[in-house]
Amino acid sequence: MEENSNNIIVYADKTVLKVQGLDIHGLNTTEVERLLMDKFKTIVRVIGVTGNSIDMDVYGIDPVQILKDEKGVIKTIAAAEGVSPLEVAKLAAERIVEVDFNSVKERDGNYCARERWLNND
């Protein structure tokens, strides 16, 4: 996995996940959700995107959904309706399940959806 600090904060399988290993160019949450659903084989909802510096197009996004540092560098974008950038930043800082997009394995059997991510804790 390329070393970067960008994260996509998502909700999947009753779990908040911090997905790493994806480069996002443009912010089309529908496309990101579709990509993650194809990989994870479950329903995924993007909560937000965070990083030390986020290299993406942010046209058409309400400025209150974007959190910038004192130099104007974008730190967080709140992608889910009703979620603020501050809330996304707090989620990213918490100990939530970190998942490398390129290391996600296929589901193997029937079990509680949350159990799938326990090995990543």
Paired sense of beta strands 74-78 and 66-68, if any:
antiparallel
Position with higher pLDDT, 115 vs 8: 8
Domain-located, residue 25: yes
Q: Give the Å distances, CA to CA, from 2 to 20, 23, 35, 83, 101.
A: 9, 10, 19, 28, 11
Per-residue pLDDT tens digits for 52-108:
666 666 667 788 888 888 888 888 888 788 888 888 888 888 878 889 998 887 777
Q: Is 12 left (phi over 0), alpha (psi -120 to 50) or beta?
A: beta
Q: Which of 18-22, 34-38, 107-111, 115-119 has the highest mean pLDDT?
A: 34-38
Q: How many domains does the chain have?
A: 1
Instruction: Tell whether the model's pLDDT for residue 119 goes beyond 90.
Output: no
Domain-located, residue 31: yes
Domain-located, residue 2: no
- Is the distance from CB of 67 to CB of 75 less than 8 angstroms? yes
Domain interval for residue 36: 7-120
Domain-located, residue 99: yes
Measured distance CA(121)–CA(117) in Å, rounded = 7
Confidence bin at 17 (pLDDT 50/70/90)? very high
Confidence bin at 4 (pLDDT 50/70/90)? low
Helices (H), 1-121: 29-40, 85-93
Domain-located, residue 1: no
Across the range 102-116, mean pLDDT stands at 77
- Model's pTM, two decimal places? 0.71
From the list 6, 37, 41, 34, the residue with the least C-alpha distance to 20 is 6
Domain-located, residue 67: yes
